[in-house]
Chain A
C-alpha cells in the first residue's frame, strides 16, 4: 500500500500509533488518581486513528476498524447509562458509585471502582463522536 514517497510518514506512523494508543490507555486508567480520564483518552485515541487516516487513507482506517463509529457512540452512551442505573439494583440512588479492593493475578491488590465503567462510556462516546466528525468531513468530495 505505500504510495510514492510517503514511506517515511507511513512507516513512522505505524510505530507512533501504538505509542499514542498505549498512552491513551494509560491516561484512561490513571484518571482516578492523577490527570487523565475518559475524555482525553478518547481524544487521544481518535488522534491516533486520525494519524493513520493522514498517513494512509480513510479506507485503510475503515478496514482496520470495520465498525460504524456512530454505533460506538451509542454503545458508549449505553454503557454510561448502565453504569448509572446499576446502582438502582442495590437500592442506592442513581449514579451512586462503589469501590472495593481485589486481588488481581498480575497487579496484586488493586482498587476497582465502578466509575471506571462510566469512564469507559465517556471514552467510547468521545472516540465515536470525534471519528464520526473527522471521517464525515474527510470524505466530503
Chain B
C-alpha cells in the first residue's frame, strides 16, 4: 500500500517538475509578453499544484499526517496564479507593449478607443531573425 502511494507521489512530483520545465521553455521560446504570460501562468501553476499534491499524498499516507498547510497552499496557488497572470497581461497592454507580429485580431483595442483611452499600436514590426 505505502509503496504504491510512494510511486503515485513520485509520479505526481515528476509530472509537476516536467510541467514547470515546459513552462520555463515557453518563457524562453515564445515571442511576446502575452504568450509568455500564458506559458508562465498556466503550466507553472499546474506544475506547482502537482508537486504540492504529491507532497500532500506522501505525507498523508507515509507519515499519517494530513497537512492542512499544503491543502491551503494548493487552494491558494490555484486561486491567485491566474489572477496574477491576468494582471500582468493587462498592465503590459495598458502600458503599450506591442502584440506579436503574427497576431490577427485585437478586440480590446476597439473597446479602449471607444472609451477614448489610447491603445498601443497593436502589432509589432517583424524583427530580423537573429543568428544564434
Q: Spell out A's residues near B (CB within 8 Å).
A: 5, 8-9, 12, 15-16, 19, 22-23, 26
Expressed in whole angstroms, the minimum distance between the Cβ of B90 and any Cβ of chain A is: 7
Tell me the interface secondary structure of chain B in the complex. helix
Residue from A5, A12, A19, A23 in contact with B83 in the complex, judged by beta carbons closer than 8 Å: A12
B54, chain A: closest CB distance, angstroms: 21
- Residues from chain A with a CB closer than 8 A to the CB of B86 are 8
A15 touches B79 (CB 8 A): yes
* Chain A residue with the shortest CB-CB distance to B68: A26
The answer on a CB contact under 8 Å between A9 and B72 is no
Once the chains are docked, how many angstroms separate the CA of A26 from the CA of B69? Answer: 10
* Residue in B68, B69, B80, B90 whose CB lies within 8 Å of A16: B80
B87 on interface, CB distance cutoff 8 Å: yes
Identify which of residues 46-83 in chain B touch chain A, using a CB-to-CB cut-off of 8 Å: 68-69, 72, 75-76, 79-80, 83
Q: Is the CB of A19 within 8 A of B90?
A: no
CB < 8 Å neighbour of B79 from A5, A16, A26? A16
Contact A19 B72 (CB under 8 A): yes
Known: A16-B79, A19-B72. 13 other contacts (CB 8 A): A8-B83, A8-B86, A8-B87, A9-B83, A12-B79, A12-B80, A12-B83, A16-B76, A19-B75, A19-B76, A23-B72, A26-B68, A26-B69
Question: Closest chain A residue to B111 by CB distance?
Answer: A5
Closest Cβ–Cβ distance, residue A56 to chain B (whole Å): 15
List the B side residues contacting A22 at CB < 8 Å: 72
CB distance from A44 to the nearest CB of B (A): 12
17 contacts between A and B (CB under 8 A): A5-B90, A8-B83, A8-B87, A9-B83, A9-B87, A12-B79, A12-B80, A12-B83, A16-B79, A16-B80, A19-B76, A19-B79, A22-B72, A23-B69, A23-B72, A26-B68, A26-B69
